[in-house]
Amino acid sequence: MPITEILPRDIAVPVAHPLHSPGARVQLRHAGRSFGGNRVLADLDLEVAPGEFLSIVGKSGCGKSTLLRLIAGLDQPSSGSVLVDGVAANRAGDRLRLMFQEPRLLPWASVADNVAVGLRTGPDPEAVAEALRAVELGDKAGFWPAQLSGGQRQRAALARALVSHPGLLLLDEPLGALDALTRLTMQKLIRNMHERAGFTAVLVTHDVSEAVALSDRIIVLGRGGILSETRIARDRPHTAAELAEIEAGILDAIFAA
């Protein structure tokens, strides 16, 4: 019997997408961070599965940005450990990429050269062109960042983050400074890229509806650590009412803190 007949028909055969990369696993064990005597994070346990899209929400000052900086390896935990694929986050190198609230493009480099900053090894014009096409900036390669709109700049920053096929994408409120319409387009783009490329994503945001639109799982962070956890199954579409209910539940958890 040919093997194709044993397989059920509806199994989606994974197609190797040009940007595809296996997602990284993130593990925090008893992770804590204090600044002087001020304890921002204490004894935090968190695991993000490969390919998962996790959002972290909470009031300002709850430590969500500190948490993201720990995972990015830009900051070291005072206690416990932060591992990316089993390696300390600050040594995970280019397995992870970070997108900031601002695009942070080099103003003196063309859009293509800015994207090339994200490459792991030497120049690779094809990879750069591919990444620019994926964020619909294929025709802007030779432009200066100053010639782009705010949304285009943030898309160039996304291409820079993804050009090296990272296993983990960290997003630090990357859409916070965009107008509402551009923000919706960017959300769709990020979700699309995540589904096609398969990287693990961790998003920090104060916008709960954005977290609901993008994530597989949302945690609410507060002074006492993780206050609540919500999973959103992505295998079926949700009605607006369902999404609104999820959002209301998360907001309750934030304000209960």
**81 close to 32: Cβ distance less than 8 angstroms:** no
247 interacts with other proteins by CB under 8 A: no
* CB closer to other proteins out of 77 and 166: 166
Write down the least CB distance from residue 65 to other proteins, Å. Answer: 13
Candidate segments 115-123, 207-215, 234-242, 244-252, binder of other proteins by CB under 8 A = 115-123
93 interacts with other proteins by CB under 8 A: yes
* CB closer to other proteins out of 172 and 216: 172
Q: Binder to other proteins among 29, 39, 59, 104 (CB under 8 A)?
A: 104
Q: Which residues pair with 171 in a beta bridge?
A: 99, 203
- Helix (H) or strand (E) holding 81, with range, is strand 79-84
For residue 54, what are its two tokens? Answer: 């996790």
Interaction pattern, residues 142-171, with other proteins; x per rule: CB under 8 A? --xxx-------------x-----------
106 interacts with other proteins by CB under 8 A: yes
For residue 23, what are its two tokens? Answer: 């997602």
DSSP 143: S
Closest by CA to 29, choosing from 72, 70, 63, is 70
Strand 53-57, strand 38-48: pairing: unpaired
107 interacts with other proteins by CB under 8 A: yes
74 interacts with other proteins by CB under 8 A: yes
* CB closer to other proteins out of 107 and 237: 107
For residue 257, what are its two tokens? Answer: 């803190």
CB 110: neighbour CB atoms within 10 A?
Answer: 17
**52 close to 233: Cβ distance less than 8 angstroms:** no
Binding residues vs other proteins (CB under 8 A) = 72, 74, 93-94, 97-98, 100, 102, 104, 106-109, 117-118, 120, 144-146, 160
